[in-house]
């Protein structure tokens, strides 16, 4: 009987846990720890003023700036301790000592929103939650007159599960400009993510200016355009961030409570480095010139990350270490992050095994294997990094061959690196390719752009358990947190990156934030559908499954008009980034596509001009991203596509629209 009572009690607690969190009803994401909705609503208008404790005024200013575009006005802010109306933002030492500086508590009444915070971070996150509590349109980038900005009265208590809630972007395979990095930071911050891991260096391009070694970027930042060699495009491709860019981005991130973790991947993944500085190649190594030599490029059109076992700098060359120290000196000056990530993954050791200098090093240092040579190399890097006041972080391969306990392990091959690290007493971040590698396929929808092999659906990402929760506390405490990654060899433009990352990063941020045992896939899906509308207003190109066929085309008619025109007035639901796919269904000819636009009352209002094509069994960039910043419900909208067939005019197909 006692057992039954206990079991019933347990069930009640579980049910209570599932029902009590009203954050589900309110579509909050990530879900706060505790939400209790009360009757009534708080109305935000021009007269609403924020009273903020000294030290929190800056956080209030950020919120005011975030919502100003939709409101069309700025809320007033005064420094102070108390008020009975509007918004009160105050420190709460009790909260800080219990739940840390990222914690916050909201008490929303009819006249007063009281925000208590553990620290500035908590204030920033409280405001992100308030933004989500307001109508979706608060995310609009343009003023929406006539809206009422109300939120439900509620009590909320919130703090994160993990201190490290990261996202890694590979800007080596594909480069992006500083504005896209800032956009990424904006969206991360809204989701209470706080580490941006910048994969700045890899085989395919060196993307950070190092003043001491200008040729790293003069040479290593450029290669042949990977996109369309079959179409004869042999233009130089690449780019890099100047130190000025980096300082600006680091400050931008700091403003959003995001730390930027820089990665210099070494000794492997170093073809760009070796091409720029061939003196660091092993003796007798065939240098990886073909990636960078645009005139003579035997791999044209093939994936450009294949190197047949040749990607490592020489581990027997003593000059490598002072060279690396020169880089570290500049990194320390640029990045406040306490870690420097040195990669250390997938080191191809064939060169080392054939190199007299590497072999001599092994003999001199009594190293039994090339794994031990790698560990020797990493330990020397660690000494340099420690000397400059930072800690070394590396991918889980650095565990091989023996490594110091002071290094921190980023586990990418599932979580086995993390488990090994904590067994070893080392700190770790779980950045698993089993849960959080978002360049993998997310759907079998044939309209989705082509990507890497492998499947990682939103559900898989959401349900992935980064670390067994039944480990002893002192081991779990070594898990700093979790991180997702986007590797970019097959997605050649930032709109596609957003499409790959959202909504899957919602799964990551929620796992990183909410208490263990609170996740529920069925319920999460509903919240995602609502939450996506917020991202639409911001112009984020997220993936969604549902599309509508808005029209069909036939090459003969298309050629006569040089255009496809479709009335879509009835299809448009809200402002946001629409996806348009032009699909080929029949015929031997193919269709070239360019300048896909929304035309409002005869005037173009949004455009994606890139070149694409569709033909039997072969498509090239045939998804278009149309950013409609404002939807005028009374107007007439037409979808216009510049198009013309090739290889004759025997083909036809359909046009699909993905709405927010």
Query: Which residues of the chain form contacts with ligand ACM (CB under 6 A)?
Result: 345-346, 395, 412
Binder of residue 357, out of Zn ion, ligand ACM, none (CB less than 5 to 8 A by kind): Zn ion
Burial of 321 (0-12, 13-18, 19+ CB in 10 A): middle
| Catalytic positions | 202, 269, 346
Min separation Cβ 209 and ligand ACM, Å: 24
Min separation Cβ 199 and Zn ion, Å: 25
CA distance 125 to 64: 14
Min separation Cβ 370 and Zn ion, Å: 10
Binder of residue 346, out of ligand ACM, Zn ion, none (CB less than 5 to 8 A by kind): ligand ACM
Binder of residue 403, out of Zn ion, ligand ACM, none (CB less than 5 to 8 A by kind): none
Give the three-state DSSP class for 465. coil
Q: Give the Å distances, CA to CA, from 252 to 77, 129, 247, 256, 382.
A: 22, 20, 9, 7, 28
Min separation Cβ 410 and ligand ACM, Å: 8
Binder of residue 395, out of ligand ACM, Zn ion, none (CB less than 5 to 8 A by kind): ligand ACM
**Contacts with Zn ion, residue ranges (CB under 5 A):** 282, 314, 316, 355, 357-358
Binder of residue 358, out of Zn ion, ligand ACM, none (CB less than 5 to 8 A by kind): Zn ion
CA distance 32 to 159: 7
**Sequence-separated (6 or more) residues with CB below 8 Å from residue 596:** 580, 582, 607, 608, 609, 624, 626, 639, 640, 641, 642
Between 352 and 395, name the residue whose CB sits nearer to ligand ACM.
395
Between 104 and 395, name the residue whose CB sits nearer to ligand ACM.
395
Between 316 and 660, name the residue whose CB sits nearer to Zn ion.
316
Between 88 and 285, name the residue whose CB sits nearer to Zn ion.
285
Binder of residue 412, out of ligand ACM, Zn ion, none (CB less than 5 to 8 A by kind): ligand ACM
CA dihedral for 585, 488, 503, 140, sign (positive or negative): negative
Binder of residue 624, out of Zn ion, ligand ACM, none (CB less than 5 to 8 A by kind): none
Between 267 and 612, name the residue whose CB sits nearer to ligand ACM.
267
Min separation Cβ 489 and ligand ACM, Å: 11
Q: Which residue has the tokens 């006539």?
A: 146
CA distance 499 to 658: 12
Between 395 and 598, name the residue whose CB sits nearer to ligand ACM.
395
CA distance 606 to 148: 27
Binder of residue 385, out of ligand ACM, Zn ion, none (CB less than 5 to 8 A by kind): none
- Element at 551 (helix H, strand E): strand 548-554
CA distance 91 to 115: 8
> Residue 122 is encoded by which pair of tokens?
């908590």
Min separation Cβ 205 and Zn ion, Å: 23
Between 318 and 523, name the residue whose CB sits nearer to Zn ion.
318
CA distance 171 to 485: 11
**Sequence-separated (6 or more) residues with CB below 8 Å from residue 355:** 282, 283, 284, 285, 314, 316
CA distance 435 to 431: 8
- Element at 46 (helix H, strand E): none
Return left, alpha or beta for 199; rule: phi > 0 is left, psi -120 to 50 is alpha, else beta. Answer: beta
Phi, psi of 497, deg, nearest 5 = -65, -45
Min separation Cβ 333 and ligand ACM, Å: 26
Between 147 and 345, name the residue whose CB sits nearer to ligand ACM.
345
CA distance 625 to 2: 61
Give the three-state DSSP class for 234. coil
Min separation Cβ 346 and ligand ACM, Å: 5
> DSSP states of 250-311 as a string?
HHHHHHTT-EEEEE---SSS-HHHHHH-GGGSPTTPPP-GGGT-SSS-TTTTS-TT--TT--
DSSP 649: S
């Amino acid at each position: 009987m006692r057992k039954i009572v206990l079991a019933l009690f347990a069930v009640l607690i579980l049910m209570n846990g599932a029902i009590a969190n009203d954050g589900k009803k309110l579509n909050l994401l990530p879900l706060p720890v505790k939400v209790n909705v009360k009757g009534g609503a708080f109305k935000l208008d021009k007269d609403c003023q924020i009273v903020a404790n000294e030290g929190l005024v800056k956080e209030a200013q950020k919120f005011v700036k975030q919502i100003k575009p939709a409101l069309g006005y700025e809320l007033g802010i005064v420094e102070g301790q108390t008020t009975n109306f509007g918004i009160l933002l105050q420190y709460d030492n009790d909260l800080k000592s219990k739940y840390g500086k990222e914690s916050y508590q909201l008490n929303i009444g009819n006249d007063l929103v009281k925000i208590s915070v553990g620290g500035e971070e908590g204030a920033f996150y409280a405001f992100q939650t308030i933004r989500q509590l307001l109508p979706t349109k608060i995310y609009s980038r343009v003023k929406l007159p006539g809206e009422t900005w109300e939120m439900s009265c509620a009590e909320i208590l919130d703090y994160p599960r993990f201190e490290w809630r990261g996202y890694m972007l590979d800007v080596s395979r594909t480069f992006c400009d500083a504005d896209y990095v800032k956009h990424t930071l904006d969206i991360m911050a809204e989701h209470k993510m706080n580490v941006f891991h910048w994969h700045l260096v890899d085989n395919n391009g060196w993307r950070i200016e190092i003043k001491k070694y200008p040729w790293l970027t003069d040479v290593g930042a450029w290669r042949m355009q990977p996109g369309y060699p079959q179409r004869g495009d042999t233009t130089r491709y690449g780019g890099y961030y100047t130190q000025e860019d980096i300082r600006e981005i680091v400050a931008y991130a700091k403003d959003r409570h995001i730390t930027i973790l820089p990665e210099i991947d070494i000794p492997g993944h170093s073809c760009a480095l070796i091409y720029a500085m061939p003196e660091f190649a092993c003796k007798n190594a065939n240098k990886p010139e073909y990636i960078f030599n645009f005139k003579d490029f035997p791999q044209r059109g093939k994936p450009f990350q294949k190197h047949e076992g040749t990607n490592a700098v020489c581990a027997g060359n003593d000059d490598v270490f002072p060279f690396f120290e020169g880089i570290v000196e500049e990194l320390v000056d640029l990045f406040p992050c306490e870690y420097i990530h040195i990669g250390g993954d997938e080191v191809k050791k064939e060169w080392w095994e054939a190199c007299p200098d590497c072999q001599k090093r092994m003999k001199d240092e009594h190293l039994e294997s090339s794994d031990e040579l790698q560990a020797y190399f990493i330990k020397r890097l660690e000494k340099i990094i420690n000397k400059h006041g930072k800690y070394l972080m590396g991918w889980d391969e650095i565990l091989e061959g023996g490594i110091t306990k002071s290094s921190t392990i980023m586990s990418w091959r599932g979580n086995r690196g993390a488990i090994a690290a904590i067994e070893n007493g080392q700190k770790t971040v779980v950045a698993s390719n089993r849960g959080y590698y978002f360049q993998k396929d997310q759907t079998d929808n044939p309209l989705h752009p082509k990507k890497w092999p492998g499947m990682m659906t939103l559900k898989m990402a959401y349900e992935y358990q980064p670390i067994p929760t039944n480990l002893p506390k002192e081991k779990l405490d070594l898990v700093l947190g979790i991180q997702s990654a986007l590797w970019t060899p097959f997605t050649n433009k930032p709109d596609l990156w957003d499409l790959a990352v959202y909504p899957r990063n919602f799964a990551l941020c929620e796992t990183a934030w909410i208490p263990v045992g609170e996740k529920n896939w069925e319920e999460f899906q509903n919240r995602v559908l609502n939450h996506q509308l917020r991202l639409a207003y911001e112009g984020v190109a997220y993936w969604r499954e549902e599309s509508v066929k808005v029209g069909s085309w036939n090459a003969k008619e298309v050629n006569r008009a040089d255009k496809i025109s479709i009335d879509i007035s009835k299809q448009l639901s809200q402002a946001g980034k629409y996806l348009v796919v032009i699909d080929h269904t029949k015929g031997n000819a193919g269709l070239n596509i360019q300048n896909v636009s929304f035309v409002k009352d005869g005037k173009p209002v949004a455009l994606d001009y890139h070149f694409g094509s569709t033909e039997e069994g072969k498509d090239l960039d045939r998804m278009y991203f149309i950013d409609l910043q404002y939807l005028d419900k009374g107007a007439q909208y037409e979808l216009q596509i510049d198009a013309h067939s090739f290889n004759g005019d025997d083909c036809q197909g359909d046009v699909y629209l993905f709405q927010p």
